[in-house]
């Protein structure tokens, strides 16, 4: 590909994180609709559900949201530990972590197919554990990559920025394309996840796994090309 037609690393990273945002929407739809009202990526939702359940609200689970919260924290801690020694940006460690996300989602998806649907309690908690751990790892990788306004797992801050920096609020301008894209893609992912759930609970998880693995492959390829160019420029 000619140099001038190759996207910049920043633009490529934005596209890749937006793709993961879409896959998060799929995973959260599967978790909430198919795994007893559990969010795998949106920990704010789990904390709120957990609080209401502990207060005695009817028909709200607490074991699943609590397990998801703990698993997410564990995944984020692992991701942070792996990436701490390297500078911000895409590295081989980022590739490994995103590939691990894809592998965990793939294992969960295959398990759901083997179970021929949602496993009976308490075995469904195993799927919750895998999904939430994978989203924690992904969130840590996205945080280290530091693509502004795109955390891949939540869009509350993005929505806040979209409103607070708007002309209506007196702002002079903002990166509205990336912000609107992140919001729209997580919603679109949730819609796709809900539709795939009608066919089988495993399809959405497998789709998210494929997206993660493709993102890892593209990110690694781009990172290697960038390192080669930098090495040629300094030699």
Is the pLDDT at 117 greater than 80? The verdict is yes
Is residue 138 within 8 Å of 96, Cβ to Cβ?
Answer: no
Percentage, residues of the chain above pLDDT 70: 97
Per-residue pLDDT reduced to its tens digit, 31-59: 999 998 899 999 999 999 999 988 988 78
Whole-number Å distance between alpha carbons of 156 and 139: 14
Per-residue pLDDT reduced to its tens digit, 178-188: 999 999 999 99
The answer to whether residue 4 sits within a structural domain is no
Is residue 151 within 8 Å of 139, Cβ to Cβ?
Answer: yes
The answer to whether residue 1 sits within a structural domain is no
The residue segments making up the domain with residue 97 are 9-234
Number of structural domains in the chain: 1
Burial 17-37 (b: 16+ CB within 10 A, else e): bbbbbbbbbbbbbbbbbbbbb
This prediction's pTM: 0.92
The answer to whether residue 87 sits within a structural domain is yes
Is the pLDDT at 1 greater than 50? The verdict is no
The answer to whether residue 160 sits within a structural domain is yes
The answer to whether residue 156 sits within a structural domain is yes
Mean pLDDT, the chain, whole residue set: 91
Q: Which residue has the higher pLDDT, 174 or 129?
A: 129
- 68: CATH: 1.20.1250
The answer to whether residue 121 sits within a structural domain is yes
The answer to whether residue 59 sits within a structural domain is yes
Per-residue pLDDT reduced to its tens digit, 136-147: 999 999 999 999
């Amino acid at each position: 590909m000619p140099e001038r037609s190759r996207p910049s690393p920043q633009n490529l990273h934005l596209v890749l994180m937006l793709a993961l945002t879409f896959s998060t929407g799929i995973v959260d739809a599967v978790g909430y609709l198919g795994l007893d009202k559990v969010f795998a990526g949106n920990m704010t939702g789990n904390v709120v559900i957990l609080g209401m359940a502990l207060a005695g609200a009817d028909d709200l689970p607490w074991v699943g949201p609590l397990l998801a919260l703990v698993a997410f924290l564990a995944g984020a801690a692992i991701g942070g530990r792996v990436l701490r020694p390297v500078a911000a940006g895409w590295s081989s460690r980022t590739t490994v972590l995103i590939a691990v996300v894809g592998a965990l989602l793939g294992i969960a998806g295959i398990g759901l197919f083997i179970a021929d649907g949602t496993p009976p309690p308490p075995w469904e908690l195993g799927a919750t554990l895998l999904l939430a751990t994978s989203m924690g790892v992904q969130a840590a990788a996205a945080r280290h990559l530091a693509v502004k306004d795109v955390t891949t797992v939540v869009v509350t801050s993005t929505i806040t920025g979209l409103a607070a920096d708007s002309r209506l609020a007196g702002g002079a301008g903002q990166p509205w394309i990336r912000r609107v894209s992140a919001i729209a893609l997580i919603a679109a992912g949730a819609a796709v996840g809900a539709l795939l759930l009608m066919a089988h609970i495993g399809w959405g998880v497998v789709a998210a796994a494929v997206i993660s693995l493709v993102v890892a492959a593209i990110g690694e390829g781009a990172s290697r090309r960038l390192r080669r160019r930098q090495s040629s420029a300094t030699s």
